Amino acid sequence: MTPLPLFRLLQSQGFGSRKACREQVLAGRVTVDGRPCLDPDAAFSGPGRLLGVDGQTWVWRDKAYLMLHKPAGYECSRQTRHHPSVFSLLPLPLVNRSIQPVGRLDQDSTGLLLLSDDGAFVHHYTSPRRHVAKTYRVTCKHPIDDGLAGRLLAGVQLHDDPVPVAALACQRLDEHRLELVIAEGRYHQVKRMVAAAGNRVEALHRYRVGNLDLPAELGPGQWRWLEKADLDALAGGG
């Protein structure tokens, strides 16, 4: 990568406008690889670079790939109507990058939400043609009858679609809970499938996308970067 003036490097990482980034450097708020730098035009290459802003260190990243443990009560859009946005759970430099969710979760659903500013990546993992498996733990309102999993596996008819939609896998976990794997990501898909099969979703938690699991140590509302092993697990799963 061709070296870039420091203010541009900062701008690419979501630290604000050109002017704001120049000012942060001139104000002495920025370090590069741990050393203060007061020259906004000093040139550095991005890869491997540690940028410190107001005492917080950021590794330069060409593209942002991250996972968030979405809590209930948050909407996945930037402009929300009734609930806070998942973007309010992320630090400002990330919000300033044009990251978007890779497939949404409903306001009341919880679990693994991927976000990125890599348009090709987002498209790849949301495209209906890719058939990336999404695994949910579904809590049902009514006791799960013996036939529910079979009906979901055989395929159920959703109102807007003449072709039945089938689960990739479905297993009853206990009287009220199912593990359900689906390939598509249609609007309210799990809720509509379970309703069409004769029950009702009370709670929905996504804990795997492809072969990538929501890590146990990532609590509700917490996020972390996706590292190479995570991206490999994702790619390995579809």
Interface ranges with ligand URA (CB under 6 A) = 105-106, 109, 188-191, 204
- Asked if residue 114 lies in contact with residue 101, where contact means CB atoms within 8 angstroms, the answer is yes
Give me the least distance between CB of 190 and ligand URA, in Å please.
3
Residue 117 annotated as catalytic? no
Nearest by Cα to 50 from 60, 40, 63: 60
Identity of the residue, 76 or 99, whose beta carbon is nearer to ligand URA in the bound complex? 76
For the chain, the distance separating the N- and C-terminal CA atoms, rounded to the nearest angstrom, is 31
Give me the least distance between CB of 231 and ligand URA, in Å please.
22
Identity of the residue, 10 or 138, whose beta carbon is nearer to ligand URA in the bound complex? 138
Alpha-helix residue ranges (DSSP H) falling in 127-216: 148-154, 189-196
For residue 114, CA distances in Å to 58, 61, 64, 159 come to 20, 16, 10, 28
Give me the least distance between CB of 214 and ligand URA, in Å please.
14
Identity of the residue, 80 or 189, whose beta carbon is nearer to ligand URA in the bound complex? 189
Among 33, 39, 41, 106, which one carries the catalytic annotation?
A: 106
| Residues known to be catalytic | 106
